[in-house]
Amino acid sequence: MRLIFATRPSALARWQTQWVIRALEAAHPGLTCQEEVIVTHGDRVLDKPLPEIGGKGLFTQELEAALLNGRVDAAVHSLKDLPTEMPPGLTVGAIPQRAEVRDALVSAQGYTLETLPQAAVVGTSSLRRAAQLLAARPDLQIRPLRGNVDTRVRKALEGQYDAVVLAGAGLTRLSLTAHVSQWLPLDVMLPAPGQGALAVQCRSDDAETLRLLAAIEHPATRAAVDAERAFLEALGGGCAVPVAAYAEALPQGALRLTGFVGAPDGSGHWRGSLTGESARALGQALAQKAIAEGARQWLR
């Protein structure tokens, strides 16, 4: 048995793909896996903020094309980068157990969000992060930040910014958590829908690959991220909108979903929560609540 995995060239993408490969080979003795590195549009264009070049499939379209034409059997994505609309013929065959969901502040001076100087420069190209940072600290100056995880950390440590904000999962996976000056609490900074989770994509008619991937599926993680992504989808959003969501498991199989929609300049925001048992219905219901309570003004 052999599987070929598409992966992006970054250290984080390679780490994530190799983690999935090790887990599958451990679960299926006799299975061999190999990587095929594919450079995406998001990897090539590094001189512009993500929202300017963003839209659906910034980091995924080339990998999906390789799947659809049969060049590879599967592709590993950071789930937060995967558009909510799946191309016909593709499916998410497995979502392994989620890693760290929080965002982290990296600062050469060891600043926290509370101790950053007045009008400090903070690096992020995420409208979601900018909206929540400015909701907490309207005085901050938000500046674009691109590059791989290690590049972004280096820019912070060199003092190009007073601090930068990064997904904690990437820092954890690349053993860079020693540089974290603050783990941002969820009541201040909600994550992107699906943040911290991996998605292993494959062809929907590939029964053998789906059978193999089932070994690394984590149902509780899938339920949580399904709720978060349903919230984003119902709001009509992608990576270029200031939307955040996090679902946590409650006893007896229920989920509590918290969502955020905000103005990128921090001038206003909506935040709310709902509890339910059906992941997609919960996400859709919270989106309807957000729109009914005025959140649409920040989605235009």
Per residue in 91-129, pLDDT (tens digit) is 999 999 999 999 999 999 999 999 999 999 999 989 999
CA 257 to CA 247: how far, in whole Å?
4
The pLDDT of residue 43: 61
DSSP string of 18-31, one letter each residue:
HHHHHHHHHHSTT-
CA 71 to CA 49: how far, in whole Å?
31
Residue with tokens 């339910």: 276
Phi-psi region of 55 (alpha: psi -120 to 50; beta: other; left: phi over 0): left
Q: pLDDT by residue (tens digit) across 178-187?
A: 999 999 999 9
The pLDDT of residue 221: 97
**What band does 141 get if pLDDT is binned at 50, 70 and 90?**
very high
Share of the chain above pLDDT 90, in %: 84
The pLDDT of residue 48: 57
The pLDDT of residue 256: 98
Domains (range + CATH), the chain: 2-96+197-217 (3.40.190.10), 103-183 (3.40.190.10), 229-298 (3.30.160.40)
Question: What are the structure tokens assigned to 75, written together?
Answer: 């592709």
Burial level of 194, CB count in 10 A (0-12/13-18/19+)? buried
Q: Which residues contact 65 (CB under 8 A, 6 or more apart)?
A: none
CA 212 to CA 233: how far, in whole Å?
29
Indicate whether 297 pLDDT > 70.
yes
Q: Are 244 and 232 in contact (CB under 8 A)?
A: no
**What band does 51 get if pLDDT is binned at 50, 70 and 90?**
low
Q: pLDDT by residue (tens digit) across 247-268?
A: 999 988 899 999 999 999 999 9
Q: What is the 8-class DSSP label of residue 131?
A: H
| Predicted model pTM | 0.92
CA 67 to CA 261: how far, in whole Å?
33
Q: Are 100 and 170 in contact (CB under 8 A)?
A: no
Share of the chain above pLDDT 70, in %: 93
Tell me whether residue 81 is one of the annotated catalytic residues.
yes
The pLDDT of residue 216: 98
**What band does 176 get if pLDDT is binned at 50, 70 and 90?**
very high
Longest dimension (CA), the chain: 59
Q: pLDDT by residue (tens digit) across 273-292?
A: 999 999 999 999 999 999 99
Question: What are the structure tokens assigned to 33, written together?
Answer: 């896996």
CA 147 to CA 10: how far, in whole Å?
9
- To the nearest 10°, report the CA torsion of 59, 61, 62, 66: 130
**What band does 83 get if pLDDT is binned at 50, 70 and 90?**
confident
The pLDDT of residue 146: 83
The pLDDT of residue 277: 94
From the list 73, 81, 103, 162, the catalytic residue is: 81
